[in-house]
Amino acid sequence: MLDPQARALLALMAERQVPPTHTLTPDEARQLYRERRGFTQPDAPPVAEVRELKADGTIALRLYRPGAGKLPLLVYFHGGGWTIGDLETHDVVCRQLANGSGCAVLSVDYRLGPEHRFPAAVDDCVAATRYARREAEALGIDPGRVAVGGDSAGGNLAAVVAIALRDAGEPLAFQLLVYPATDMRAQAPSHTANAQGYLLTADSVAYYRGHYIPDPNAWSDWRASPLLAADLSRLPPALVLTAGYDPLRDEGRQYADALSAAGNRVQYVCFERQIHGFLTMGRVIDEANTAIALCSWALRSTLNPGSA
């Protein structure tokens, strides 16, 4: 059964005639996403330190530090279909994860489509993660305890960065993948079962993919579809979280299973009653706060066990 709170949110959006994302220009969709966050996200909790930075002089970053000392780090990539979203839309979730895990969080404002198509976002996310390690002393982080994470498109990017850095001999400590997109071909059964009615629709999936990676010949590139990578062994431990009423549900499960089959440590949790995007909706969906607590626990127990 769909969570009653999620159902009420969908009904309210229909009543207020919130336009579907796929009917908007990218600029309109970005503005709506920013405006909508105030209705669904909790108030921003205070964090000990927040710092604005740039990687390689061009990639805007925001560092959240929950305390003093040399901290583990989560490099976080926001969701939004590689087309919308920014540091502001995911400010609250980054603060929540920093406070809950005791880890520093570095939010990355990677380039978006259609202005910057694939693999621009991948390149930015790899560069930002390398920057964090290179500047570890100045940032007050432990370069041996660096994780990547993200939701939706950000989960896709986190999975890709983990593979890319493994291949470069720069392995990471953990990956937090929240309803990740892992297969651009969008063939999993949940794409049909949950195609309409649950916020992220088949039309919006096609909209986002069209802005980020319109060439079908590129969908099988592992940097777009990490599920199709030839080798998924020797990757960092993972928590993969999905939502039951989400077109991306099955490809998230498939990726968790593929990681496990390749010999990696993986925990998989599906919030069966939830819709895509619920993690950032803690003002109106209680299970979002449960998910944040779970993600925080996974980060803390893996990267920062002394703080537990």
Q: 230 to each of 161, 163, 262, 292, how far by Cα in Å?
A: 15, 10, 11, 32
Q: Which domain holds residue 212?
A: 4-307
Confidence at 305, pLDDT banded by 50, 70, 90: confident
276 is catalytic: yes
| Locus of tokens 């920062």 | 304
pLDDT in tens, 32-69: 999 998 899 999 999 999 999 999 999 999 999 999 99
Q: Which of 80, 160, 151, 88 is nearest to 112 (CA)?
A: 80
Q: Which of 201, 160, 206, 212 is nearest to 185 (CA)?
A: 206
204 is catalytic: no
SS3 label, residue 111: coil
pLDDT in tens, 72-101: 999 999 999 999 999 999 999 999 999 999
246 is catalytic: yes
SS3 label, residue 301: helix
Domain tally, the chain? 1
What is the average pLDDT across 105-118? Answer: 98
User: Domain with 210 in it: what CATH number?
Assistant: 3.40.50.1820
Q: In Å, how far from its chain's centre is CA 308?
A: 24
Catalytic residue among 142, 183, 221, 246: 246
Predicted local distance difference test score (pLDDT) of residue 304: 77
Is residue 299 within 8 A of residue 20, CB to CB? The reply is: no
Please compute, for residue 284, the number of CA atoms within 13 A of its CA located in the half-sphere on the CB side.
Answer: 22
Cis peptide before 189 (omega within 30 of 0): no
Catalytic residue among 152, 190, 204, 296: 152
